[in-house]
Every structure is written in structure tokens, then in C-alpha cells.
Amino acid sequence: MNSAGNSNWKTPLGYYERAIEDLRRTREELQEEFQNFKTTYIENLESNLRNCQTEINTLKSELQITQERLVITEKTATEAHKSLADAENAANAAQTELQAIKEIMTSELSANYKIIQEIAQLKEQLSEWQSQVQQPKHENDLSVQILQSLSNLQLQCSKLEAKLTLVSPASGVDYTKLQELLAAKKWNEADIETYTFMLKISEREEERWLEDKDIKRFPRQDLRIIDNLWEKYSGGKFGFTVQKRTWQDAKEDYKRFGDRVGWLVNLVNSEWLKYEDYNFSLSAPDGHLPCTVRVLGFGYRSVGELPHRLRIFLSRY
């Protein structure tokens, strides 16, 4: 058979042979391209499959981690809910207990007040009986004995009344010594006694001053007893009540307050009076005593802490 390149290619047979040759070449090219395409496609497909598999594995891992975190979160939420419920129950129990304590305290105070009233009435009756016994001009042994018995009974009533008013039901502290010092107008000694009692009740004798938590939990009954004694024996000049009134009049400005009660030497320079320079007499400004700032940390802590602690302390009275 002649070649397609032969000079006879223009013959019908040559055309035929050349066409067959072109078809064969085209077929080979197509097969080659197909093979190349097949190889490239398969490689790309395999690569894509590997990438997808990697992504799937990554997603599975992330999903697993998310599920684990969700389980932990649900567990934490359950525990938090339980803790919250326990806290609410504890708070309700504490509130109930506090209310019970308040009722007991109110009951005790009411009972003490009634006892004091009854003692006062009894003392009045005893005085009347003494007057009646003393009326006869010629006393006999019986009347003397009755009079002595009435005097003893009146003395016992006075002691009982003092015990009810001077012994704190909260701390158990007996304020008889403070009463005696105030009655004798020994203002300096009375102030030291007040300071000592307040530290002792708060168990802060070593520190020498009260922290916020000590002020907040200091028994109100003791505050009232201390204040009543200072106010009574100073004629309303000293005591926590006077200090609170001055504090409110000063718009809770601690420098203006300190100036009005005589604790500040110079309002402009904010110079505070040293304790040894206090005026322990009735000529002092109203509210000068007791030295509240001393027990609140003056001389031991920064002066800048005074407004904060004064506000807490005076709000409790």
C-alpha cells in the first residue's frame, strides 16, 4: 500500500490512505489527552477526597469536643442551679432564723421594760409605805423593823433595776463602772472605759480599732446603753445620738462634722486634734465625747478611712 505522502496521494486511494492516517493520529492524540485527563482528574479527585476526609475528621473532632463541652456546660449549669437553690434555701433559713432572733430580742426587751416599770411602781409603793411607817411620833421596835425591811427591799429593787438597764443582753457586759465614772463626771476615764468595752466586745483589743465588719455586727443594745449613759449624765451634751444629729446637720461631711464636735483643730488645713488634747469637760462642744473616731481607727489608720467608717457606725444608731 502506498504512503499518504506519495505523489499519488491525490488519487482516490491516496485520499483514503491519508484520511486513515489522520484518523489514526487523531485517535492517538485523543487517547493521550484522555489518559492525561484521566490521570489528572483522578489525582485531583483523590486529593479532594483526601482533603474532604481530613475536613470530615476535623469536623468530627470538633463536634466531639463541642459535645463534651456541652455535657460539661450542662453539668455545670445543673450544679449551679442546685447551688443556687441551696443558697436560696440557706438564705431563707437564715432569714427565718434572723426573724426569730429579732422576735426573741424584741420579746426580751419588752419583758425587761415591763420588769423595769413594775420595779418602778414597786419602789413608789415602798416609798409610800416608808412614809406611812414614819408618820407615828413614837416609833416602836416593830415599825423600825418594818422600815428597815422596806429600805432593804427598796435597795434590792434599785440594784435589780440597775442590772436590767446596765447589763447588755447581747454581750453580757456590765456597764456599772461606766455609769459610776459618768456620774462622777470623770469624762476622760469614762471615755477610756467606753473605748475599752467596744474593743473587748469586738475582740479587737490587740488591733485597737474596729474594721467595717466589726462595726456592722456591733450589738445595738450595747450602743443604746452606752449612749443613754453618756446622754443622761452629760445632760444631753455627749453621746452617739448627739454625734449622729451633728453628722446629719453637717451633711455627712466628715471635716465639717469633725470641726463642729471639736475634733478638728483647723478646718482649712484638716489638722485633727490629738487625743491627749481633747476637752474632757462640759465646756467641750456638743458631741465631743465619746471619742468615736478613736475606736474607728483614728491614730492607727489613714484619716481618709474615717468618712467611710463614720457613715457605717452612725447609721447603726
3-state secondary structure 6-68: CHHHHCHHHHHHHHHHHHHHHHHHHHHHHHHHHHHHHHHHHHHHHHHHHHHHHHHHHHHHHHH
What pLDDT shows up at residue 257? Answer: 95
C-alpha count within 13 angstroms, C-beta hemisphere, residue 125: 8
What pLDDT shows up at residue 301? Answer: 82
For residue 96, what is the DSSP state?
Answer: H
- Please provide the DSSP assignment of 73-88 as one string: HHHHHHHHHHHHHHHH
Beta-sheet pairing, 271-272 with 264-266: antiparallel
Helix, strand or coil, per DSSP, at residue 264? strand
Contact present, 254 and 230 (Cβ < 8 Å): no
Low-confidence ranges of the chain (pLDDT < 70): 1-10, 37, 87, 90-164
| Domains defined along the chain, listed by start | 173-315 (1.10.10.1770)
What pLDDT shows up at residue 3? Answer: 44
Instruction: Say how far apart CA 148 and CA 20 lie, in whole Å.
Output: 158
Please name the residues in contact with 267: beta carbons below 8 A apart, sequence gap of 6 or more: 255, 256, 259
CA dihedral 261, 267, 272, 278 (to 10 degrees): -40
Helix, strand or coil, per DSSP, at residue 317? coil
Residue found under cell 420595779: 119
CA dihedral 104, 106, 110, 112 (to 10 degrees): 60
User: Counting runs of H as helices and runs of E as strands, what totals does the chain give?
Assistant: 10, 2
Contact present, 238 and 290 (Cβ < 8 Å): yes
What pLDDT shows up at residue 1? Answer: 43
Instruction: Say how far apart CA 270 and CA 260 lie, in whole Å.
Output: 13
pTM over 0.85: no
What pLDDT shows up at residue 4? Answer: 44
User: Which cell is 58 given?
Assistant: 476535623
The helix (run of H) or strand (run of E) holding residue 250 is none
Contact present, 161 and 189 (Cβ < 8 Å): no
Instruction: Say how far apart CA 258 and CA 237 lie, in whole Å.
Output: 16
- The number of residues in the chain equals 317
What pLDDT shows up at residue 75? Answer: 85
- C-alpha 314, offset from chain centre: 17
